[in-house]
Structure 1
Amino acid sequence: MTDDFPLAQELAWLTARLADLLLTRESAEEAVQSLALAAKEAIPHASGAGATLIDGRGRKTSTGATDEVVLEADRLQYEMGQGLCLSAWAEGTSQTIEDIGTETRWPLWTRAAASLGLRSALSAPLISGGTPIGAMKVYSDKAGMFSAHDLRLLEMLARPAAIMLANLQARDAAQRASALMTAAIADRDAIRMATGIIMERERLGPDEALSRIIDLSRLEQRALSDTAQDIVAGRPVL
């Protein structure tokens, strides 16, 4: 318990810092960038850090990094389909690289990462509700720079971060769904109004009027709703 007390103090401070950084962000994209900064701040030997949200198919949906070299290392992982961050996410377990130059896992990626000047790395999965939703990672330009304490701190930081990020993702998804529904209702109303205008203007029945709008949108190579909005607004159409 005594040995864990300094770590507990660090974690308490970092969790408070994390809440301040993440809960004030308006989107998951912004929060992931803040998480990358918090990770670099938490691990004193880190020369760069990053965080990535990954969907169920292994595609990154949001990413944040403190340095360009981290962004490039991440880009290479997704391009090559291998690397410690992807493995941390896929396996739901932390990954450690003592020396990228001698690491035998992920040979394509480690060779490319070494050319970027990276030498050691840690990655911890972001797990919410038992499901990995991404990973955090820190890098150093020197080999053997990260200790077991550093890894444990990164893992403990990842736990509250994953919950906060999952909540932000859910909120973002709800907002997108609401925006899509609002747009769909607006499109439907525009099409209904445009149909009424064409019915009156050209003395057509409802089906014929709608077919006329569809034909116009095809001729213009535009969305049906855009053509309908032009008709409602009185703008010229073909």
Structure 2
Amino acid sequence: MDAKLPPVDELASFAARMSDLLLTHDDVGEAVRALTQVLIEAIPGSAGAGVSLMDARGQRTSTSATDPVVLEADQLQYDLRQGPCLTAWAQQTTILIDDTQSEKRWPAWIRGIAHLPLRSALSCPLSTPHGAIGALKIYSRNPGGFDSRTLRLAGLLARPGALMLANAQARDAAQHFRTGLVALKGHDALGTAMGILMVRRRCSREQALAMLITISRERNQPLHQLAQEIVSGETTL
């Protein structure tokens, strides 16, 4: 390695920061950005870091990469469906590349990144009791950029990092579910309110909707809120 690992007191500081992150970052995006920042600070000699997660469409994607070369190297893994990060994720094991110029695994990916200033790489799974939810990765511009001590440090950061991201993902999923329920209730209320107006005003469905939209704009009131008030009897039209 071309730099020393942080001393014990700094490692304790990084561990404390990870604990704080578990409590303070509710959003997945914020949590990932915080994790990559800790990685860069904790592991010397790194050219860039990032986290691979599954997006809403079920596609693997890189999040909060600290350097464009990380994004390029990662995207090639996703396109080829091979590479150290994907292997670390799938097998839930830490993967170390000492030198990309002599690496024999993932030949298509190795050829594809030959033009990038990356000579060594370290990938760690983000493992939870229910399986891996992704992987973190660190790249170096130098061969032999990471050693066994770095592997242990990355593992120490990956474990609480996985917990932090899993918690953030669960909170995001719960929020999306609640938002969906609100939207569904609003849609049901709108249909009911339109039916009420059709009976009261003896108008068509299209006319009832146009009337609601007009009143909503005049009152500067959300359409779903107006509809709910009509259904509940708070507003009579």
TM-score bin, normalised by smaller chain:
0.7 to 0.9
Contact 1:119–1:142 (CA<8 Å) still a contact in 2? yes
Task: Return the alpha-carbon distance in structure 2 between the equivalents of residues 52 and 160 of structure 1.
Answer: 16
**Deviation of the 1:23 alpha carbon:** 3.5
Are the counterparts in 1 of residues 120 and 144 from structure 2 also a CA contact under 8 Å? Answer: yes
Q: Which amino acid is the alignment partner of residue 192 of structure 1?
A: T
Deviations 1:60-96 (A, max 9, x none): 3661211111112111111221111111111000101
Whether the 8 Å CA contact 2:197–2:208 is kept in 1: the answer is: no
* 8 A contact 2:50–2:62 mirrored in 1: no
Partner of 1:187: 187
Query: Percent same amino acid among aligned pairs?
Result: 46
Distance 1:175 1:26, change over 3 A: same
1:33 is aligned with what amino acid? R
Flag the structure with more relative contact order, 1 or 2, with Cα contacts below 8 A and sequence separation at least 6: 2
Q: Is the 8 A contact 1:52 1:64 kept in 2?
A: no
Equivalent runs, 1:70-219 vs 2, <5 Å? 70-202=70-202, 213=205
Query: Offset of 1:20 from its aligned partner?
Result: 3.4
Shift of 1:146: 0.7
Does the CA contact (< 8 Å) of 1:32 and 1:52 recur in 2?
no
Q: Structure 1 length as normaliser, TM-score?
A: 0.79
Q: CA deviation at 1:10?
A: 4.7
Partners in 2 of 1:168 and 1:146 — Cα distance? 29
Q: Deviations over 1:5-28 (max 9, x none)?
A: x87655422121223345433411
How big is the shift at 1:229? 5.5
d(CA) in 1 for partners of 2:139 and 2:166?
Answer: 24
Contact 1:43 1:150 (C-alpha < 8 Å) held by counterparts? yes
| RMSD between aligned residues | 2.5
Matched, 1:233 2:213: yes
Q: Unaligned stretches of 5+ in structure 2? A: 1-5, 216-237
List gaps (5 residues or longer) in structure 1: 1-5, 204-211, 217-226
Residue 64 of structure 2 aligns to a residue whose secondary structure is: strand
Q: Which aligned segments of 4 or more residues in structure 1 are displaced greater than 6 angstroms?
A: 55-58
